[in-house]
Structure 1
Amino acid sequence: MAIDDGPRFAFGTLTVLPVRVRRWDRTAGRAGMLCAPLVGLALGLTAAVLGGLLLLGGNPLLAAVATVAVPAALTRGLHLDGLADTADGLGSGKPAADALRIMKQSDIGPFGVLTLVLVLLAQVAALARIYASGWPEAATATAVAALTGRTAMTLACRDGVPAAREDGLGRTVAGTVPTRTAWLLAALTTLAAAAVGAPFGPYAAAHYALATALALTASELLLRRCRSRLHGVTGDVFGALCETAVTAVLVVLGVW
């Protein structure tokens, strides 16, 4: 496998960037999902730049909306769509096969719509509050949230987590990442969050680390629910895990 197959798989699969995925197998999938946090970091920093430009006009709410819109646009709403589909599947209360069928449909049901609205409102509200403290704080929070969201995806690819379907992204990447490596990456993400939060004050490092840890815990709880109800993961589930972690980081940082 070429050294760039991992980044190509990650950016070509998780973004709309014109990156050609040369290999689509489990080996490339493992390398790609190990690179997923880099995708999150790139999206977060890009979103923070646009948010900072709009903040020059003195409108934190508008900056927050733009910051949320950038990752959605650069992923074609892929993760948000996965969140909505997963909400519909889990909310249906039907057996795994029927829930997976509901998730695969092109339309969005009431559970999905409600979840999307609440999640986007929470992200915008939290970011608007953080932007009120200044662009450096908001840019850091945005980057940490995006990084943590994609780390949650990598964690879901660890050994022992099966795919719910026989095709799709879940089948390609499920169970490809060694468990120890996945948790090490989660620990490094938490330490990185603490490091970038430290310049904002004596308690900020702990605050950022706590936000990351709570976000990964929230995504892990959702993953366990999906494994119980759907018997595994799908591409939609990965999107739901990502958005759950992103939202949790922003809410924790915005509330305190």
Structure 2
Amino acid sequence: MLRVRVARWDRTAGGRAMVAAPLVGLVLGALAAGVGALVCWRGGSLLGAVAALAVLAGLTRGLHLDGLADVADGLGSGKPAEDALRIMKQSDIGPFGVLSLVLLLLAQAAALAGQFGHSPARGALAVLTAAVAGRCALAWGCLRPVPAARPGGLGAMVAGAVAVPAALAGTLLSALGLSVLGLALPGWHPRYALALIVGQLAATALLVRCVRRFGGVTGDVLGALVETAALAALVTLAVLP
């Protein structure tokens, strides 16, 4: 994770950061894609996929994966919202969290391995698509109608801080950029834009579930949206021609 000097942090700055998050995904995705393509070239498609996922997890210090595990434990607990939020805030990971992490990483690795199996370049663009799709979901999780589940934390700072046009513009620009990059590869290049959009739909479905279950969003929910959007994008690429 890159260290940056923050001169000002409030709801306005937080909202702008969420809208600009796809640019962070572009940088992280490019680094992971490069490593994955290099490892694929020398060690095979599966190893390339694992290497790319490891780079993404390492650069983010597992932040979003941790959020996914916490949300899975909260949703799986079956307890009232207040108790579920308390479970999510604990530092340990329960059975639902472990199972979710294992299945998610297996699915991501399998989908990426198939893309790297076509070519290192196609696998690299799939990594980039997943990273950008995940960060696009952050803006949709912070739309103005979406409340915070608790008064403190990251969720409270950025919940409701993003306007719908800003989130839509970020997603459409990201989809356009991925489509342009897809022109360099043979085949149906709009699949990368479609994968990104499917990722947002999957993340939105999880967002609706979390808002109903917890009463709003938290930092953990935002992390889960990132991983859900990335997985949905990769699965979409795996099933498309």
Q: Tell me, yes or no, whether TM beats 0.5.
A: yes
* Secondary structure at the counterpart of residue 230 of structure 2: helix
**What is the aligned partner in structure 2 of residue 175 from structure 1?**
160
* Secondary structure at the counterpart of residue 154 of structure 1: helix
How much does 1:83 deviate? Answer: 0.3
How much does 1:227 deviate? Answer: 0.6
How much does 1:202 deviate? Answer: 5.2
Unaligned runs of 5+ in 1: 1-15
The answer to whether residue 209 in structure 2 is matched with residue 225 in structure 1 is: yes
Instruction: Write the distance in 2 (CA, Å) between the matches of 1:224 and 1:131.
Output: 33
Instruction: Write the distance in 1 (CA, Å) between the matches of 2:201 and 2:157.
Output: 24
How much does 1:195 deviate? Answer: 2.5
Q: Is the 8 A contact 1:149 1:243 kept in 2?
A: yes
Superposed CA offset, 1:76-131 (max 9, x none): 10000000000000111111101100000000011100000000001111111110
In the alignment, which of 37, 42, 53 is matched to residue 38 of structure 2? 53
The answer to whether residue 107 in structure 2 is matched with residue 122 in structure 1 is: yes
The one-letter code sitting in structure 1 at the alignment partner of 2:89 is K
The one-letter code sitting in structure 1 at the alignment partner of 2:204 is E
Q: Is the 8 A contact 1:24 1:172 kept in 2?
A: no
The one-letter code sitting in structure 2 at the alignment partner of 1:87 is A
The one-letter code sitting in structure 2 at the alignment partner of 1:215 is G
TM-score by length of 1: 0.90
Identity score, percent: 56
Which runs of at least 4 in structure 1 moved beyond 4 Å after TM superposition? Answer: none
The answer to whether residue 38 in structure 2 is matched with residue 62 in structure 1 is: no
**What is the aligned partner in structure 2 of residue 36 from structure 1?**
21
Q: CA RMSD in A?
A: 1.3
Matches within 5 A, 1:57-206: 57-201=42-186, 203-205=188-190
Greater relative contact order (Cα 8 A, min sep 6): structure 1 or 2? 2
Instruction: Write the distance in 2 (CA, Å) between the matches of 1:155 and 1:23.
Output: 23
Unaligned runs of 5+ in 2: none
Instruction: Write the distance in 2 (CA, Å) between the matches of 1:229 and 1:137.
Output: 38
TM-score by length of 2: 0.95
Q: Is the 8 A contact 1:218 1:248 kept in 2?
A: yes
> Structure 1 stretch 56-65 or stretch 213-222: which is displaced more?
56-65
How much does 1:219 deviate? Answer: 0.3
**What is the aligned partner in structure 1 of residue 221 from structure 2?**
237
How much does 1:194 deviate? Answer: 2.5
Superposed CA offset, 1:30-62 (max 9, x none): 121121111111110000111122123141111
Instruction: Write the distance in 2 (CA, Å) between the matches of 1:22 and 1:70.
Output: 28
The one-letter code sitting in structure 2 at the alignment partner of 1:212 is L
Instruction: Write the distance in 1 (CA, Å) between the matches of 2:176 and 2:202.
Output: 18
